[in-house]
Amino acid sequence: MMSQQYNTYSLIKRIFKGYINPYKLELAIALFWMLIASAMTGVFAWIIGPVMDEIMVKGRQEMIMPIAGGLFFCLILRGASTYFHTVQMGKIGHHLVADIQRDLFNHMIRLDLQFFQDNHSGSLVARMISDVQVMRSALAEGLTGIGKNLITLIILIAVMFYRDWVLALAAFTIFPLAAFYVAKLGKKLRSISNRTQNAVSLMTARLAQTFQSVRQVRAFGREAYEAEQAEQTLVDVRQLNIKNTKTSNLSTPVNDILVGIILFGIISYGGYQVANGSSSAGDIMSFIAAFLMAYEPMKKLAKLNNNVNVGLGAADRVMSVMDIPVGVEKEANLPDLRAAKSMDVTFEHVGFAYNNGEIVLDNISFTAGAGKVTALVGPSGGGKTTILNLIPRFYDVNSGRVLVNNQDVSSISLKSLRDNIAWVSQEVVIFDDTVAQNIAYGSDKSDENSVIEAAKSAFAHDFIMNLPQGYDTPLGESGAKLSGGQRQRIALARAFLRDAPILLLDEATSALDNESERFIQESLEKLQKGRTTIVIAHRLSTIEKADTIIVLEKGRIVEQGNHHSLTETGGLYHQLRTAGQDI
């Protein structure tokens, strides 16, 4: 669970500088209309005096229409200006949401894979949507409240001092106590808000995981278990929201008690003043009207403090993600990878361990020759997938170097490196888009003919044409409308279209039946010609044609050669084949 990271001042300063400052002109316009609305509230309170003295007490008929007309105009202008500033602040608030979500997404998408392994996708979505919306609500209400309510309060206090400065001083002696209480309440609310947003993230993650795994849930009959887990998560969020509501509304009874005390004093004092002839009834009524109207912005300012602290709790979580450094992209303006039709990939004494400290690769050295096929084999957990992950710099090595075309991957731009790599993973990713858009993903060759040719090369064209809308058929979330083999062939078509000089295949044929695999192997042989291919595969048909086979065990290279030489030596490769185990 995330703790508070920033003090209030630094957090507000950062938000203003980064997100509110670009809209200072729009904010100034909104503040102008707030000033008009607040001024009209003060005018209304001031006019109450003449209403009482000139009309009610003295009965001057000639004053009825001017005073009544003035009140009518005052209320019309206040209503119109309130509408204008509310709409303007709403627009600013929605701009803030879009800007923060844009920056948050742009930052998260560049973070290391370790970040996504440590944080559930549902939790990240909650940061993007729930937390930012809470921030927007607090910021919009905060700016409006500070602007309108503070100006209104100042104007009404001025009316009160104008009517009776002694009474005004007496009325405000008790408010420092209220301010202290509200500040203490705000700190507590910020802590509760942080916990609430963490709970919402956990809830979102839990629900997303269940929905994504609904087939497994149904297959294992775990509906009741998942419902129980979801209920517990929902109860936690509910309890925190109730606590937030109770705490945020504690200021209301305290404020009402204070106002009651002050009103008792005003009426008692004012009554004696009118009876003694020291003040007119209009002065006292105008004072009381100003005080009662001032109570509303005072109450809103107290509420505003609560809302702002709730928003700051959400802002803590958002900014803590924005401050996570981008691990592999430490330097800007690095040179591009030198272009070539095919490139060597070399590992020089590479060592690597994940965050838990467990060594995954230990002193790995080999060269995948340009235009050659290099197969990585060995027992599960040997480090095969990690080797593939280091080539496009999904992670940085702890020691040694990874070279592509004799250039250290850490000294060239990430974009140019990854532009020269096509990746087909065992975990096929299909986007909730059309077939054509899925094949064209990651390639500039998005014209119809290129997409169709790539699909034909991957033996996907026939089944695509049998779909309801052909290449324009939406595939649903994670390609739910396709079989495993069909998803794999879409992924292979994507690699064909990318046409990169380095091809990384991680169990690229694992989901295909024997007949489909035969066709795919023929297509891959064409694709591999003149390109550097590094493949992880368990099927012998994929491995035996490789130019070089690297056998890994517990993060070390234990054998290296071709299929024939490794079979003859009788080492681990031969043992795995003889035992019938995956290689």
Percent helix, strand and coil across the chain, each rounded to 5? 65, 10, 25
Q: What is the pLDDT of residue 34?
A: 84
Q: Are residues 350 and 317 in the same domain?
A: no
How buried is residue 469: exposed, middle or buried, by Cβ count under 10 Å (0-12/13-18/19+)?
exposed
Answer yes or no: is pLDDT of 421 > 80: yes
Q: What pLDDT band is residue 571 in, cutting at 50, 70 and 90?
A: confident
Question: For residue 350, is it within any domain?
Answer: yes
Domain termination site, one of 264, 288, 322? 322
Question: For residue 44, is it within any domain?
Answer: yes
Q: What's the whole-number mean pLDDT along residues 128-142?
A: 73
Q: What's the whole-number mean pLDDT along residues 70-79?
A: 82
Answer yes or no: is pLDDT of 214 > 80: no
Which segments of 182-243 are extended strands (E)?
Answer: none
Question: For residue 491, is it within any domain?
Answer: no
Q: What is the pLDDT of residue 44?
A: 72
Q: Are residues 96 and 186 in the same domain?
A: yes
Give the CATH number, domain containing residue 579. Answer: 3.40.50.300
Answer yes or no: is pLDDT of 45 > 90: no
Tokens of 433: 């888009």
Q: Are residues 71 and 172 in the same domain?
A: yes
Minimum mean pLDDT range among 13-22, 302-311, 384-393: 302-311
Q: Which of 198-202, 237-241, 559-563 has the highest mean pLDDT?
A: 559-563
Better-predicted residue by pLDDT, 571 or 417: 417
Q: Are residues 415 and 278 in the same domain?
A: no
Q: What is the pLDDT of residue 58?
A: 62
Gap between the Cα atoms of 551 and 379, Å rounded: 9
Q: Are residues 250 and 397 in the same domain?
A: no
Q: Which of 239-243, 336-340, 559-563 has the highest mean pLDDT?
A: 559-563
Q: Are residues 542 and 393 in the same domain?
A: yes
Question: For residue 354, is it within any domain?
Answer: yes
Answer yes or no: is pLDDT of 347 > 90: yes
Q: What pLDDT band is residue 302 in, cutting at 50, 70 and 90?
A: low
DSSP line for 88-133: HHHHHHHHHHHHHHHHHHHHHTTS-HHHHHHS-HHHHHHIIIIIHH
Question: For residue 94, is it within any domain?
Answer: yes
Task: Find residue 366's DSSP bridge partners.
Answer: 347
Q: Do the Cβ atoms of 433 and 475 come closer than 8 Å?
A: yes
Q: Are residues 304 and 348 in the same domain?
A: no
Q: Specify the pTM.
A: 0.66
Q: Are residues 51 and 131 in the same domain?
A: yes
Q: Which of 47-61, 122-136, 391-405, 428-442 has the highest mean pLDDT?
A: 391-405
Angle made by CA atoms 426, 427, 429, in degrees to the nearest 5: 125
DSSP line for 350-407: EEEE-TT--EEEEEEEEEE-TT-EEEEE-STTSSHHHHHHHTTTSS--SEEEEEETTE
Length, in residues, of the chain = 583
Amino acid at 462: D
CB within 8 A of 180, min separation 6: which ones? none
How buried is residue 245: exposed, middle or buried, by Cβ count under 10 Å (0-12/13-18/19+)?
exposed
Domain termination site, one of 322, 354, 371? 322
Count the Cβ atoms, other than its own, within 10 Å of residue 339: 11
Give the CATH number, domain containing residue 239. Answer: 1.20.1560.10
Q: Are residues 179 and 133 in the same domain?
A: yes
Question: For residue 458, is it within any domain?
Answer: no
Tally of domains within the chain: 2
CB within 8 A of 546, min separation 6: which ones? 373, 374, 375, 535, 562, 563
Gap between the Cα atoms of 182 and 308, Å rounded: 12
Question: For residue 581, is it within any domain?
Answer: yes
Count the Cβ atoms, other than its own, within 10 Å of residue 373: 24
Q: Are residues 310 and 242 in the same domain?
A: yes
Q: Are residues 180 and 315 in the same domain?
A: yes
Q: Do the Cβ atoms of 110 and 329 come closer than 8 Å?
A: yes
What letters, b where the CB count within 10 A reaches 16 and e where it falls short, cover 69-104? ebbeebeeebeebbebbbebbeebbebbbebbbeeb
Q: What pLDDT band is residue 4 in, cutting at 50, 70 and 90?
A: very low
Question: For residue 236, is it within any domain?
Answer: yes
Q: What's the whole-number mean pLDDT along residues 31-50?
A: 77
Q: Are residues 346 and 292 in the same domain?
A: no
Q: What is the pLDDT of residue 557?
A: 92
pLDDT tens profile 138-184: 776 666 666 677 777 777 777 777 777 777 776 666 656 665 666 66
- In the three-class reduction of DSSP (H, G, I as helix; E, B as strand; rest coil), residue 561 is classed as strand
Range of the domain at 278: 8-322
Q: What is the pLDDT of residue 216?
A: 67
